[in-house]
Amino acid sequence: MSEKEFLALYEQYLQGNCTPEEILLLENYQDDFKWKTWTADLGDKERIHDEIYQRLHQEVQPVLQNSGSFRNRWMAAAAAVLITAAGGLLFFNTQKLNLFNESSLNASVFETRTGEKKQIRLQDGTIVWLNAESKLVLAKDYNQERREVDLTGEAYFDVVHSKTKPFKVHTKVFNINVLGTAFNVKAYPTDFNATATLIRGSISMCGLSPDSKQIILKPSEKVVFLNPEKLLNTPGKQQLKSSPNVRIQHYTQRTDTVVVETAWKNNSLEIYDQTFAEIKDILERWYDIEIQFKSKTVENYRFRANYNNESIVDVLQSLQEAHKFKYEMKDRTVTISE
């Protein structure tokens, strides 16, 4: 979304002409921006960057009833955008959320980058935690006669109950149907498995293949689907293709209060009896890095650990205590060898 588009929509809000969908987009939107050219006469780059970043990059908790609170927060953001327009300091990443492109005229789109998480409050009060490299799409008529979303990546849903409007989640591997419950969905196109983990309530779900049958999950259960799209595009995975397409098992509970599958929404990185190869994608998304293995032996090292706000260097050094390996970091690439 450009500066002009942002200001145009914000002006509509001030005039009371925004639809509920447009207000929701404003409240949940996080602008993604980068520096353009910088010269000394513009001032202290780091100080100004931090100031604008804090204004634009804060999580806004939607309060539709309190328009004054909302207005004050967005006045600060608008002021930062005006600074941007006047000084030419920043540009917006239009891949994040473009309110005026063809697809967004019919849907609300929320996305996260590598290393980013986002909490979203939907119009019906449902809360969604969106994990890194994920995308949530709401139909334009969301919460009118239906509540349906499309998910790519991972999200935790705490769904407000509604007898008349079931909540539906569509992924490229399976679809989920609920009334009101809490559950986690992980469906990255690059992962071999897609999973749904039920925390509270009940959900029914069905795979997208013609022979798929309906599955009813109970609390503490999770279902694991093999991702056919990933398998078809990965040579040497014939042993996985002969495995069961669907498995139902219990989620992994590290303590009475920590469920491994959902710990990410509390900013806790849980590694539970997983190989280096299995946690590779998790670490890449978590820390915005690329991992390259130089040894098949290292890929099969297994780990158990949990981390809260540690750096990638802290994590790698900690994992070295369980298995001896070497690593080298260059820019955002981590090379791991024996």
Using alpha carbons, list the distances in angstroms from residue 179 to 57, 142, 166, 174, 237: 33, 15, 5, 17, 37
pLDDT cut 90: percent of the chain above it: 41
- pLDDT band at 95; cut points 50, 70, 90: very low
Mean pLDDT score, 249-268: 88
Residue range 23-49, pLDDT digits in tens: 666 655 544 333 344 455 545 555 555
> With 50 as the cut, is the pLDDT of residue 68 above it?
no
Q: Which of 243, 244, 200, 196 is nearest to 219 (CA)?
A: 200
Strand partners, 195: 186, 224
DSSP E strand boundaries for 142-211: 147-158, 167-170, 174-178, 182-187, 193-200, 203-207
Mean pLDDT score, 289-295: 93
Residue range 141-182, pLDDT digits in tens: 898 888 999 999 999 999 999 988 999 999 999 999 998 899
Task: Tell me how far apart the alpha carbons of residues 159 and 176 are, in angstroms, rounded to a whole number.
Answer: 12
- pLDDT band at 17; cut points 50, 70, 90: confident
> With 80 as the cut, is the pLDDT of residue 112 above it?
yes
